[in-house]
Each structure stands twice: as C-alpha cells, then as structure tokens.
Structure 1
C-alpha cells in the first residue's frame, strides 16, 4: 500500500486555534510536512503569518473551507488565493469555485456528499455519497475529494472504500479521527490521506502523553 499523508490541522472544533503560530513550530520540529488551517478562528493577518511559517518550514499548506453558504465560501476561496495556499479543502459550491481557482495552481478537494452544520456533518447513504463523489471528481479542475466519513451516519470504512472506488483521484478523510484503528481503516481503503486537529490538540490520541509533540509522534507512527 502507498503511504498515507497525515495533514495536521491547526484547528479545534472546526476553527483555527488562537495559538496556531506556536503549534506550527511544534509540528515542523516533529517532521510534519502537511499542515492546514480553517478559514475562521483567526484574523486574516494572523492566518497570513501562519501560512508564511508553514511554507518557510518546507511544509505543504492546506486551507479547509467550513462555510456552507455561497457568499461565505467564495470569500474563503478568495482568501485562499490571496494567501497562496497549496491546497483548498472542503466547500460545496464547485460550480462557483472552479473559475476562481483556474490558473492559480491551487489543488482543489471539495466535499463529497451533502454537508451541513458546524461542525460539519455528512448526510446521505453510502450509495448517495459515492455517487456524489463520482460526479464531483469527474469535473475538470477538481483534484480530489474531502470526505467527512467519520461524521456520517454510515459505516465509515464502507463509505471510504466506496468513495475511493468511485474515483481514481485522491480522497482525503477529514473530521473526528482520533484512534489508530481509524487510520488503519483509512489505509486499507486506499485513501490518500487524512486530517487530525482537535484530537491532537486536546490530547485524545493514544500516545505517551497529552502534549502536542507526543500526539503528533504517535499519529505519525501509524503511517
């Protein structure tokens, strides 16, 4: 099997945390090379600093959109373009976003399926979500999918497997991942990667201790 990408999100409960700048340094020191944040939680000037530090440390950057209305999502996309992030995750207004991203070089991973609420949840059956994934992934300009598998009412592993089978494009599993068994399932299903934020920042992941460095080391050991 190919190696999974672990994307460390500087977020708690779908918001970028106030001390994100400090956590960037810890993550880089732990060898984490995929680091992301959300479009809410910090003033834009601070997000710019966070992004600058991620890139200066040699890591790949990700901005995940959690706004579900069209106007807010477009504003978030424009922020991602302004920052110059490497990857844009999430969002549901694919038709509106694709023209904005054209020519920017930003890789785009919109949500598969029907997403609602904050923190976001994924609605629908495995078949419905896989069908949505196939249709979205077939769009030119869509580089992969953002899948909230562990925030759905389905069998999460069956859902990940179905979505990965629906497209050759990479699938990133996001949200509510906090156990090694979940990472193992994501790997078995051949997803490209996963995100963890809250579980690491709150010391929930099984590790030698709750400190962020111990959490990141334990997660990285699952890859």
Structure 2
C-alpha cells in the first residue's frame, strides 16, 4: 500500500456479487489498482478467475474473511493461500491463521475487537477494541489491522485515531463507508486505507452519476 489507498470490494452486504468479473473490468479501466472480494458469494473457481483478472490488470488482490466460526475461517485462509492473493483481510482466529499463512507472502490484516453477525458488526468499548488491536498487532506475522469502525456504535473518528495511535502497523477501515466526509475522517485519523463495495455498486456515493465508473472515480478523487 501507498500512503492512503482506496480498496474497491466486489461485494454487496458482505457477499461477493455474481457479476464481479464485469466490475473488475470497469474498475481497472477507471484506474483502480486495489480490488478485493469476500470469501462468501462465489465458488472458489470463480474467485480464482477474479484473482487472475485482477493480476492481469496490474492491480493488487485482496480477500476479506467474514466467516464467523473457526472451521469456516480456516477453510477461507487455506483458500487465500491457494488463490495467491496479496492481502488477507479480516478473520478473528489469528493463532489458527498464522501457521497456515507462514511462507505464503500474503499480508495478513485481521479484525480487532469482537465481531458478530452478518453483515459483520464490531462490538465492545473503545478500550476493549484498542486492547485487542495491540494484542493482535504484536504478532510478527500480522502485517496490519482491518477495523470495522463504521460498523460500531462508538465515536468513529475517536476509535480510528485510538487504534492507529496504539499500533505501529497500518490500519484499513472497512465497512459502511459511503460519503466523502467519511473518507476524510479515515485519512485524518491516521488509517492507511479504506474499503468501499456496496455503496459504489449501488450508486450511493456522491458522484457525477450512479454508474460504477463514475462512482469509482469519485471515490478515488475523495481519497486523493
């Protein structure tokens, strides 16, 4: 990642969409170079095709885990290794994931805090989430953190700033970002990147129009 990146997620409501491949083509044409998907929504063969398409376009591939139980998460981590993605985001079973990722070269960004439900929500106090972030970031195999800040009921700017201030590794803010002011907040609070999926696919981000290319270009401008 560079100083501050926009990661376009091929997802709606925490599921990879059926027409993800068409959206990859649109994103690449719009100059987007960070593209991700979830471990839920498409079979592994389709996800493999997505990774190949993203790579051919010169972009970086991200897989975000939203599985709630340990066994499903372990299967998703193994899938990430098989797919050869560049980044693995999310998940909460760090001690189970790290041995599977050893030697893969995949940069691992798990969730701090207590994650519940689907779509995922972040629960706990700011102090509890910061303590979780510090504990997870202390692992040598953890490259950064994936923070569901806007999926919490807390003061979001304060939460992002507290987590970023407590750890020396980069933080990605994921989930429920759909306005330029949120992007500015994320950047000002010290995060390294943010993800947007549903709001871009649904044409909700303020832009010249609702089409995906217009949405992506507007989000990219907001990030810049």
Short-chain TM bin: over 0.9
**Residues 34-49 of structure 1 correspond to what in structure 2 (within 5 A)?**
34-49=34-49
2:77 aligned residue: 77
**Pairs aligned (count):** 222
Instruction: Note the aligned Cα RMSD (angstroms).
Output: 0.7
CA distance in 2, matches of 1:97, 1:112: 14
1:98 aligned residue: 98
Structure 2 residue runs of 5 or longer lacking an equivalent are none
Structure 1 residue runs of 5 or longer lacking an equivalent are none
Helix, strand or coil for the counterpart of 1:92? coil
Helix, strand or coil for the counterpart of 2:36? strand
Runs of 4+ in structure 1 off by over 4 angstroms are none
Helix, strand or coil for the counterpart of 2:88? strand
- Alignment deviations for residues 155-206 of structure 1 (CA, whole Å, 9 cap, x no partner): 1110000000010100000000000000000010110000000000000100
CA distance in 2, matches of 1:191, 1:51: 25
In the superposition, the TM-score normalised over structure 1's length comes to 0.98
Aligned-pair CA distance for 1:3: 3.5
Helix, strand or coil for the counterpart of 1:222? helix
2:163 aligned residue: 163
Helix, strand or coil for the counterpart of 1:42? coil
**Residues 19-168 of structure 1 correspond to what in structure 2 (within 5 A)?**
19-168=19-168
